[in-house]
Structure formats: C-alpha cells, structure tokens
Amino acid sequence: MHASARARLRSQTACRKRRDQSSALRRLRAARRGSAQVNVIINPRETGFVLLDFVEVFGNRNRVILEIGSGKGRFLIASAMEQPDVNFIGIEKSLHYYRVIRERVEKRGLRNVRIVNHDAFPVIQKMINDNSVSESHIYFPDPWPKRREQKRRIIRPEALGEMRRVLAEGGSGIYVTDHREYFDAAKPLLEQFFRVETRIPGPDDPPRTNYEAKYRAEGREIYEVRFWKG
C-alpha cells in the first residue's frame, strides 16, 4: 500500500475512534442525566385513566404503599425517606398541595415516590390493578359533614369496594380522623369490607401529618381505624 494511502487509512481510523468515543460519552452523560431525573408525576388528565404497571412505573418489583389525600406530603415523604426499598403513590386532589409535594419530592431526589393530582376514587377504580397495593393510608379526609354532601366521602361503599380490590391479600390500611360523626359512620362501613381494629392514638404516637400535629396541639380527640384484608 502506498504511504499516502496508509496515512489516509490511519487518519480515517483515528477519526472513527474519536467519533465512537464521543458518541459513548454522550450516551453516558444522557444516562447519568436520566438516572438523576425521575418523573414523579402520574397525570391522568394527559394520559387518561390507564391501568398502571407498577414495575414499569417504578422500575422495580418493590411493594407499593398508597396514600389517599396526601396533603403537603408529610407522611408520604417521611415514609419514602425511611423506606427507600418501598414504593409510594400519593393521590392529592388539591393542585396547590400537589405542587408542594412535587417540589419537596424532587428537591430530595426521592426515586420511590409518584404523585397523582386528581380525585382519588376514579384513580383507584381505573388505574390500580387488583391485589397490587400492600398498604392504604387515609389521614384526615374531608368529612363532608352536610348530609347532601356525604355521598362524596372517600369512606363509602363503592370506594371501599375498590380499596379492597386493589389491596393485596393480607394487606392493611389505616383511616384517621378528628371528626367523631365521620368516625362513627365509617367504622361499620369498613367492617363490611375488612377486619378492623379501632384505637385512639396516644401522646407517645408521633403525628403522621400536619393536620394531626395541629389537631393534637389544639387538644382534639383523634380516632383511628386499622383494617386488614383476609
């Protein structure tokens, strides 16, 4: 081979090697960016009410805990930080509180939290698979005290039927309220679907939400129902 041809071949080989290295570096940087940025949002207003595959959503087969009405995210975030090998989904209807949770989750870089800004019932009914949730937590839901509004309560037969469907066999849940009438109405409904146990949190029980901390400071009575499937 002529010397000039060999020189061109060496030059072309070197160029290909540099391009390959540059391409590999771009892929590595993209992978790093992807690993650092996790989409914590599940938005049924954009996607519709699609059935969620939790393995696809979280990228693992860890168990899933559901919180219905996450408020500002105190329970959701603290639990996710304490249990990095557990996945958490929080449903929060308030757009303001949803944005607060999203900001706090993203700030902490929590990879095991997803949040949904929507009314809880259709999300549970249409987006969550049978027997896919290990725990359900419901803290201080709106009591809707007026009789004409009580059909909107989350503790109602059709919603409890869906909660039972998505809860895994042997799974558990907690319902907590400061509203005595709601507690008295909810307990027999929960008993129709689950095995239940009632308790009143004591002073040694740490508050799980901002509402619980506030209501305890005000001296309000707190009522709790724990429930199990199976």
- Other beta carbons less than 10 A from residue 93's beta carbon: 16
Report the amino acid identity of residue 115: I
53, 130, 142, 184: the active-site residue: 142
Contact status, residue 66 vs residue 91, Cβ threshold 8 Å: yes
DSSP string over the chain: --HHHHHHHHHHHHHHHHHHHHHHHHHHHHHHHHHH----EE-HHHH-SPPP-HHHHHSS---EEEEES-TTSHHHHHHHHH-TTSEEEEE---HHHHHHHHHHHHHHT-SSEEEE-S-HHHHHHHHS-TT-EEEEEEES-----SGGGGGG-SSSHHHHHHHHHHEEEEEEEEEEES-HHHHHHHHHHHHHHSEEEEE---TTSPP-SHHHHHHHHTT---EEEEEE--
142 is catalytic: yes
Cα of 165 vs its chain's centroid, Å: 17
User: Which are the catalytic amino acids?
Assistant: 142
